[in-house]
Amino acid sequence: MATQQINIPDIGDFDSVEVIEVLVAEGDVVAVDDSLVTLESDKATMEIPSPVSGKVTKVTVKVGDSVAEGDYILDIEADEAAAEEAPKADAKKEEPAKEAPKAAAPAEKPAPQETKAPAPNVPPVPKPVNAQSMGAAYHASPSVRAFARKLGVDLNAVTGTGPKGRIQQNDVEAMIKSVMQGSAAASGQPQGGAGIPSVPEIDFSQFGETETVELGRIKKISGKFLQTSWLNVPHVTQFDESDITEMDAFRKSMKAQAEKAGVKLTPLVFVMKAVVKALQEFPNFNASLSPDGQSIIKKHYYNIGVAVDTPNGLVVPVVRDVDQKGIFDLSKDLMELSAKARDGKLTPADMSGGCFTISSLGGIGGTQFTPIVNAPEVAIMGLSKAKMQPVWNGAEFEPRLVMPFSVSYDHRVIDGAEGVRFTTTVGQYLTDLRQLIL
């Protein structure tokens, strides 16, 4: 049995974050990825997962402490199998124990800690609880979290009525009440998202050989956000297409210049610029619904989330201030963020603050798809693969490069007419990039 010292991993741009919950005590047995402590800054709440399985032998933090990257929070006597799997982390046991954070040990980078995640050498990544990894947000005190946990309530599905949308105990009680009333309704129909009947459990092995493989951590987290959004947001998807013949000719003509600048231009950066210009004209798309559903919060900044496909699952890093950047800078940002995403190195800060998301499958194929809104954003664009097509110009058919795209939006905030005006506008900007400078 090897004792492993657990430190706070990379938590992004936060220097000092408050511990709002200590989820384990000495003697507790934890599995890989079990949450150890919850941290809360003014911007995000995140849980620190265990990089190993084993028994907690010492806890050096308490609620109210402030911690930073590298701070020592607890010791785990790792299971033998886990210790063998984690030679780097194991080496850490030889080091003398550092002081607890309040005793002011200088922040030190944590040792890379092996996990059961599919990619080796991925350090434990804090789980953003409300950092817009793929949607929902909540704030709740430790006692409310404990109350919800005890009753098995998913706080993502609870609407907070406290200050700044904070979830209070009565909100959790109201949710339980509505679910109970829903399941008791004579119609048998669900009254709310959490009250839907579950999919029946089936033993598939009765039909043939099966294998059960646990979902990776990112898939588990993004799945929860996607389901929350899908259950809470009344989605409409508008399909459209844009003639990008000239845009693509321009992109190709810039190839050498782009290479010199160290970037690769893809259609996505032009789409980002066209979307931002359209967001400026249609501010309802650059907004969020207030938690009580009574107001629209319009944002005067233009940060675009880009869905990135990684070996571990879907993540959405955010490109900031797209309105203020040229296409080379945007390409650079995109390349850096997608590389970070694929290496599993995104921080909660990299994934927070988005206004609108673009999911591009254009490099792969497909004709159209219906993306799920990255709530609490209100709209998301899906890009599909552009193809040469014969287009009637009034006198003859001409070969033109046409890109299909779709925009899913929250119908509580955006009406259908506004939805199609938005897609028409984005499509026109992509057809004639000159309009972007008007």
Binding-site ranges for ligand CAO (CB under 6 A): 266-268, 306-309, 314, 338, 359-363, 371, 383, 385-386, 403
The minimum distance between CB 128 and ligand CAO, in angstroms, equals 18
Taking a C-beta distance cutoff of 8 angstroms, is the pair 402, 244 a contact?
Answer: yes
User: To which residue do tokens 């008007």 refer?
Assistant: 438
Q: Which is nearer to ligand CAO, 165 or 371 (CB)?
A: 371
The minimum distance between CB 218 and ligand CAO, in angstroms, equals 12
Residue from 212, 377, 408, 223 nearest 313 by CA: 223
User: Cα separation of 58 and 76, whole Å?
Assistant: 7
Element (H, E) at 359: strand 356-360
The minimum distance between CB 133 and ligand CAO, in angstroms, equals 13
Residues 6+ apart with CB under 8 A from 18: 39, 40, 41, 64, 65, 66
Q: Which is nearer to ligand CAO, 195 or 362 (CB)?
A: 362
Angle, to 10 degrees, between the axis of helix 267-281 and the axis of helix 245-253? 130
Q: Which is nearer to ligand CAO, 45 or 360 (CB)?
A: 360
CA–centroid distance for 380 within its chain: 13
Of the residues 139, 235, 300, 411, only one is catalytic, namely 411
The minimum distance between CB 228 and ligand CAO, in angstroms, equals 15
The minimum distance between CB 139 and ligand CAO, in angstroms, equals 27
Instruction: Specify whether 411 is catalytic.
Output: yes
Q: Which is nearer to ligand CAO, 342 or 411 (CB)?
A: 342
Q: Which is nearer to ligand CAO, 19 or 316 (CB)?
A: 316
What are phi and psi for residue 15, nearest 5 degrees? -85, -40
* Chain residue whose CB lies nearest ligand CAO: 362
Alpha-helix runs per DSSP H in 185-265:
217-232, 245-253, 255-260
Q: Catalytic site residues? A: 411
